[in-house]
Amino acid sequence: MSFVGTGTPDPNPGWLSEEELSDIRRRLPLLYVEAVPVRVDGMGQVTEVGVLLRVGASGSITRTVVSGRVMYGETIRDALFRHLEKDLGPMAFPQLPMSPAPFSVTEYFPTPSITAFTDERQHAVALAYVVPVTGTCDPRQDALELTWMSPAEAASPGVSAEMEGGRGALLRAALASVGRLP
């Protein structure tokens, strides 16, 4: 059990300090979840795709999808819900998939030579999902805004070029998985 301050048990022992995380990132791949938020019509067809705008690690402004680590002892569903709420706000009302089977398993490497997906900080494995949201999205944390786009606009080369780490290809794969890639 980890402790906070004066010997009080840490209520959230799944978190790592920045120093521990940095050390682990140099040694092990980390598990992430990624979510492409969408709006659907009454027939379940994707009508809009949500893309986040945020400041990247280098200080540049980039587009991305909802993404974050899975903590020790946390279920995939809980991690998805936590990161959707963190990035989109508590009133987004995500409709999590009944099955935790992702549309893609993506590997991110610190160097672009191994795959098209990069994360200069680490080797990461991400389980990616398309998640309908029915409520009001109010981006929080490090997300500056959420832009709703048509599937055709989201799949465009211009949007892909603005996305970090190869996530434009991931967004296109998400649209293909729901039959909405133009």
The verdict on residue 157 lying in a domain is yes
Digit-coded pLDDT (tens) for 109-162:
998 877 889 988 889 999 999 999 999 999 887 788 999 999 999 999 999 999
The verdict on residue 8 lying in a domain is no
The verdict on residue 20 lying in a domain is no
The verdict on residue 53 lying in a domain is yes
pTM of the model: 0.86
Number of domain units in the chain: 1
CATH number for position 68:
3.90.79.10
The verdict on residue 15 lying in a domain is no
How many C-beta atoms surround the C-beta of residue 60 within 10 A? 9
Digit-coded pLDDT (tens) for 2-41:
333 444 444 555 567 888 877 777 878 889 999 999 999 9
What are the structure tokens assigned to 25, written together?
């990132």
Alpha-carbon distance 168 to 153, whole Å?
12
Q: Which range marks the domain in which residue 168 is found?
A: 27-177
Q: What is the reported pLDDT for 12?
A: 55
